[in-house]
Structures are given as structure tokens and as C-alpha cells.
Structure 1
């Protein structure tokens, strides 16, 4: 009997295994398939303009603030809460940063920590209302949306749009990492080296994870499929890195988002706090009975969300090189959509920040591509709404079938 079980995987063809793998993990793969389809479609409709180096850099800078917001929103949604205030919290914090630099005369590296601290205070205020006072998160953050929209307008009431002259601040969402000095190779060497390091880290991480699964007798894909997957992921990373290296290099926005992603991915997957977040999202009553302090974990999630909203506001203000009264409009919708498109379960308890980044790229690729095609903004909202409802409906249906 044992011999039969061991020989069965060998008899399966590679094609059948790949088909079975896609079917079994369709929820995880669908967002990648959607992103590829979107990129191929817009590349075709724009005669290759969508995948030009300049536009790829522009897309990364555009997606930066949404990606940062979506990472924080993923934690909130896993816990079965929601934060509707993040858009105007970002807009308000961006305006405060502009005022600190232009009117208070502070250096950008002093203003940025102050704004992040302001985000923490906002998160504490909203988190305490939810966890200690018992006001539902929907009501608390809806009220916050109105409040911070009003504060944004009051902050800029006298001055209107504030132009930010600080070069260091504006470089956060418009600049690129510098290359190794003294070299003129026709491409950005440091960016290429970073890409190679990313590939090495990705490969070693995947191999380590596979060995751990084998160690505990968990099911893994066959060696040929595993190798094909590593080659595919590595090829995508290297192609994007090479395109950027031939242009101006890696944008600082990508570096900032990558740092935030690494921190939160490690926290969710490698720490006790991450296990608590998933446990509370799965069943908060059972988590509380097992000794988890649900209120403290929830408070942390709201503080984290507001700090990331402040960072998103900094990135957006840096991107525009100015603070405007309309900053923050609809940011929360893009963040929520990115999380759900990235596979965060509507019922809570399930979600990955790495997949959320893909969801953010899907949303912003749609916006970027339609802008290149000259599609009216009204139709853009319709298209994004349709994509969003399809993604959530697909997730709900596939999860119900999985049960």
C-alpha cells in the first residue's frame, strides 16, 4: 500500500499537476492572473506605452500610498473591523506635514516623525473608542472621516494649496535611489544588484518554507513544479528590475513600501501578535477564552492603521509636491478594495499583506491604464466597481465551495 502511494505522484503528468494546483489554489492565483491580463490589455491598447520604463516608475509612485494604506487595512479587515477615516487622516496628516515645513520652518526629517506621531495619537483616539467605550468601528471611523475632512479644510482654509519646496521630502515619491558613484554603464547597477539580492532571498525563503512543510509532513508540490514556480517569480522580478535599471533606477517609494511590507509580513507570520490577529479574526470569543487580550490587539491594529495613514499622506503630499484640500478623497475605498482583491476574507480571519500589494497594483494599474487611454473618470469608477464586486463575489463563492 505504501509503495502505491509513493508511486502515484510520479505517474501524474506535469500538465495535470499544474492544472490541479491552479484549481486547488485558484483564490491565491486569481489576483496574479488578473494583474497579468490587465497589464497585457493596457500594453496592447497603448501600443506598449503602459510597460515603458517611465510609466512603470510612475505606476510604482502612484501605487505607493495606496499600498501602504492597504497593508494597514488588511489587519483591520482580518479582525473583522473597518476604518473609513484613513483617507482624510492621510490628507490631514499630509497637510500638517506641509505646514510644518513651510510655515513652521521645520526640516523634513523633523516634520515626518511628528506627523507619524500625530497618526499614532489619532489611532489611539479611535482605537480607545472602539475597544474601551464600545462604539462600533464603522461608526467611529465614519465620524472620523467627517472630522478629519473638516480639519483638512480648516487647516488649508487660509492658504489653499500649499506648495512644498523641500527637495528631500519631495524625493520620497518622485526620486530614485542613487547609483554607485563613478560608474557609467548605461544602466543603474545598484538597482540591478538589489534585484539579484531580491531573487536570492525569494528563492532561499521558498526553499526553506518547502523544507519546513516537508519536515512536518505537509503536502508540497512536486520538484519540477516548485522549480518552475521559482523560475517564473525570479524572471518577473528581474524583468521589472532591468526595466527600471535601464531608466532611472528604483524609486524611493518602492523602497519605503518594501520596508513596510517586510515588517508587517514578518509580524503576521512569525510573531505571536500575528497569530493573535488571525485567531481573533477567526473567532474572537474563542481567542478571548484562550487568554488573548482582544482589546489590546485591536487597539494596536487601529494605531498601526493611523500611523500608516499618516505615512500614506506624506507619500501623497510628496508625490504632488503640495498639500491640497481634496487630498484623501476615496483613498479608503482603494485601500479596502486592494485588501479584498488581494484575498482578504470578507468574514475575517484570512488575509496576507503580500497579496494585498498585488491587489493595490491591480487597482492602480486599472487607474493608470485608463488614464493613458484617456478614459473618462466617471467610467473609471464604474470599471473599478465592477472589478471589485467580481473579486469579492469570486472569493465568497470559492470559499463556500471549499467548505
Structure 2
């Protein structure tokens, strides 16, 4: 005779499906708090939030595309183009800082337009289309910089630099920018007709077409908006270093994908969502910060980060299957 009833098994399964990853996050938080004395300090927690700001911006763009049922492997290229267009506009053409920001967003829009053209007009799968954009963008950056050297602009206007190093009432400006982007995405993706149509397309494209939704229009808009969003992250990165570094955005790609799928594992229906993406980004930021505070050497820290990332994605997939 089993000591565990079917109802108990079902309750445990339901709990793991809904809150399994949140339990893991709490466990990591408790571990780092106990193992490192400075983890819970206000300064360190603010460092985690500030250090996660750029990743959050890129992950939100990725959330939009994944909600449409696709994937965007070119978010790093949009990041790079935003930085490159803004820095070159100020350095070579003496553009005002606010004009440079608009030009930088335009660089991201170009990446989104290329993706939209490949996916909507040529019917290339999002995976292959954005992979192609990644290779094209990578080659363009190497050619433009003569092999991949950075483009420095040490005399960048202070207003532009404040995108990364400024603050408002003690709150870092990049945190404020990320919070504004987060709010906009939450309103439009989670609380508007636009968002409902995006999710409808992602769930069942054919049904969305039958319902009268202009699917191609929303897919194109999704890729364009996502790329423009990532360009904002690129400009923050370039404002911090006062330079454009080719292929710098690639380092955010896997973390952005992981954050979206971690967030989806928390959702009751396994769907990409803005609050979940925020939790995923903060989880990755917490792990990176905690491992740094533990004083691990570079190689060990990278290996552990990779293992935790793979484990997190495996758990997210397992939760989706259980659901």
C-alpha cells in the first residue's frame, strides 16, 4: 500500500510546475547570503540591479519575438548597430547627442527590417533568418572597423555618457531607462490588444489568421521593435566605455534567451511574459554577482555559470513538459 496518495502526488506536481523555479531562486539567494557576508548589502543589491539593466533591455526584445513564436539570434547585432551608429554620428559627423540617440535607434531598426524582410517576405524561418542577419552584421562590423578594432570617442558629450554613468536622485540612469522600457513592454505586451494579438500569433498562427489578425504585420513590427529596443542597450554600453566595440552584443545573446525561457517556466501557461523575464534576468545577475563575491578564479566561475545556466534551462523545459 502506497503511503503517498494520488492527490498528494498531484499537489506536489502542481506545486513544482508553478513554483519550482522560484524555489530554486530562493535557494540560491539564501546560499549566497549565508556564504558571502556582503551579498545582502544595499550597495551590492543595487549593483546586481544596475549590472542587469542592459541584459533586461535585450531580454525584453527577445521576449517579444519569442511571444510571436520565433527566436532572434541577432539581438547582439542590433545592440552593436545602435552603439556604432550613435558613436560614428557624434565622432565623424559632429551630431548632437540626442540626434545620435535617434540615429542609434535607427541602426537597430535597420536590423529589424532585414529580419522582417527575410521572415515575412521570403518566408525564412526566424531561426535561420536571424542567424543570417547575425553573420551579415558580424561581417559588416569587421569590414567597417578594418578587422574588428574598436571605435573610440573620448570626447563624447556628457549628456550621452550620462546614459550609463548618470543618476537621478541616486538611482543610476541605466536602471531608470531599463525600468521605463520594462513598463512600456509590460503595458503593451501584457495589458493591451497589441499584446493579446502577439500572443495569439505565437500560440496558433493559423487561428490568428482566421480571426482576422494581420499576422505578417505584427511579425514585422515585432522584429523591428525588438531590434530598436536592443539598440538602446547598445548605446548605454557605448556610453559607459565611450567607444563602439564590434561584436560586444554577442555576449548577451545566450543570457537573453535563458532569461526569457526561465520567465516562461514561471508563467502558469508556459508563455513568454514580461514579469517572468525580469525574474530570469535578476536570477542570472544574482548568480553572476554571487560567484564573483565567492572569489572564484575566472575559469571556475565561467564553468559554474555555464552549468547553472544549462541547469536552469533544463528545469524550465522540464516544467513545461510537466505542465
- Name 1:160's counterpart in structure 2: 150
1:295 aligns with 2:285: no
Could you tell me how far 1:106 is from its partner in structure 2? 1.6
1:339 aligns with 2:260: yes
**Distance in 2 (alpha carbons) for counterparts of 1:370 and 1:99:** 36
2:80 aligns with one of 63, 67, 91:
91
**Distance in 2 (alpha carbons) for counterparts of 1:359 and 1:298:** 24
Q: Which residues in structure 2 correspond to 1:139-178 (within 5 Å)?
A: 139-157=128-146, 160-164=150-154, 165-178=156-169
**Distance in 1 (alpha carbons) for counterparts of 2:151 and 2:29:** 34
Change (3 A) 1:397 1:60: closer
Moved more, 298-307 or 20-29: 20-29
- Name 1:399's counterpart in structure 2: 320
Change (3 A) 1:391 1:163: same
Change (3 A) 1:396 1:333: closer
Q: Is the 8 A contact 2:259 2:280 kept in 1?
A: yes
**What is the DSSP-based 3-state SS (H/G/I as helix, E as strand, rest coil) of the residue aligned with 2:168?**
coil
**What is the DSSP-based 3-state SS (H/G/I as helix, E as strand, rest coil) of the residue aligned with 1:81?**
coil
Q: Which residues in structure 2 correspond to 1:268-283 (within 5 Å)?
A: 268-283=189-204
Change (3 A) 1:27 1:262: farther
Q: Is the 8 A contact 2:17 2:322 kept in 1?
A: no
Q: Is the 8 A contact 2:263 2:276 kept in 1?
A: yes
Matched pairs, number: 311
**Distance in 1 (alpha carbons) for counterparts of 2:164 and 2:23:** 28
* Cα-Cα RMSD: 2.7
1:322 aligns with 2:250: no
Could you tell me how far 1:78 is from its partner in structure 2? 1.9
Change (3 A) 1:401 1:36: closer
Q: Is the 8 A contact 1:31 1:359 kept in 2?
A: no
2:99 aligns with one of 85, 110, 117:
110
2:49 aligns with one of 60, 68, 75:
60
Q: Which has the larger radius of gyration?
A: 1
Change (3 A) 1:377 1:339: farther
1:39 aligns with one of 5, 12, 29:
29
**Distance in 2 (alpha carbons) for counterparts of 1:51 and 1:155:** 45
- Name 1:122's counterpart in structure 2: 111
**Distance in 1 (alpha carbons) for counterparts of 2:237 and 2:18:** 29
Change (3 A) 1:322 1:58: farther
**Distance in 1 (alpha carbons) for counterparts of 2:15 and 2:236:** 34
Change (3 A) 1:136 1:254: same
Unaligned runs of 5+ in 1: 1-19, 179-248
Unaligned runs of 5+ in 2: 1-9
- Name 2:5's counterpart in structure 1: none
